[in-house]
Amino acid sequence: MIRYTLTRLALLLLGLFVASVLIFLTLRVLPGDVAQLIAGTNSTPEQADAIRERLGLGEPLVAQYVDWIGGVLRGDLGTSLLTGSSVTDELVQKAQVTVPLGILALTIALAFSLPLGVISAMRRGRSSGTAISVGSQGLAAVPVVWAGMMLVVVFAVWLGWLPAQGFPRAGWSDPAAAVRALVLPALTIGIVEGAMLLRFVRSATLQAVGQDYVRTAAAKGLTRDAALIRHGLPNVGLSVVTVLGLQVAGIIVGAVVIEQLFSLPGIGRMLVADVSARDLPKVQGELLALTGFVLVVGFVVDLVHRALDPRQREAS
């Protein structure tokens, strides 16, 4: 297990290095003059020169990368070109909205996809199983923006139960208002992501039904459903753990759109605003932080799967 952990850690660090290089080069090798692009079309040559000097664009690319990544290793993701604020500090502040949103969305997705996915597989060929399967396919095909708009119409406009947009100025000092503001956005992401996870759980459960150990348990006197629950669901759980890394990435992508739709002051909305404002240092730091988060989640998922799977424990 120790050797496997060290190997995965080395791959994580390699992935972070490759991601940092790609992000750096992508934002540096833009068509035209990067400084002029940031300054805007109505800027003066002096303004473009000031930006060029501030970003060190006159230095070789290698020197620019070493200077940037050196700051990252010290915990400094850069400084906003427009406001002069620390990118790290702003990410920490915005994460107080995005992280709870992601956790709530993932909780919603798991809460209905796990039981309904198993029920759909166990009731395969029956009306209830077919209804769940068809419903999940329909929900998985729904655009997240449309789903969010429909939820706003129903729960905010018609029923008036939840706020349509925004986040309380008091933040988490008023936890009840903060949670109410996150319910509709989290429900939007959770329904769409959960529908896709439901289909995966259904497929994994159907695969478990056909395994020899489930059929053997059924032959010894257990009903098919009891044999599946006792011997098949642990393997289904392992499969779900594996796919959770992809779900987290999907939730992050969904948060970028949903935070715009619901006017939430989170990382996704900040990233969109910074791209529009051409704040290159800030966008660079934000992309690296999000990429690093996804890679770390994948690393943790791999270790958890390895620890829970008895076959892999024996192999290690």
How much is the pLDDT for 37?
A: 66
Domain boundaries, the chain: 87-277
**pLDDT beneath 70: ranges in the chain:** 30-34, 36-40, 211-214, 217-218, 221-222, 224-225, 231, 309-316
How much is the pLDDT for 158?
A: 94
Q: Measured between alpha carbons, how far is residue 139 from residues 17, 126, 160, 217 in Å? A: 37, 20, 24, 35
pTM of the model: 0.85
Residue spans of alpha helices (H) in the chain: 2-28, 34-39, 45-55, 61-73, 87-122, 127-140, 144-151, 175-209, 212-219, 224-227, 233-261, 267-276, 280-308, 310-315
Which of 141, 159, 155, 157 shows the shortest CA–CA distance to 184? Answer: 155
Instruction: Fill in the amino acid letter for 154.
Output: V
Q: Measured between alpha carbons, how far is residue 305 from residues 94, 112, 241, 299 in Å? A: 30, 22, 6, 10
Q: Report the CATH fold assignment for 87-277.
A: MetI-like fold (1.10.3720)
How much is the pLDDT for 310?
A: 60
How much is the pLDDT for 32?
A: 58
Q: What is the pLDDT of residues 3-21, one digit of tens each?
A: 888 888 999 999 999 999 9
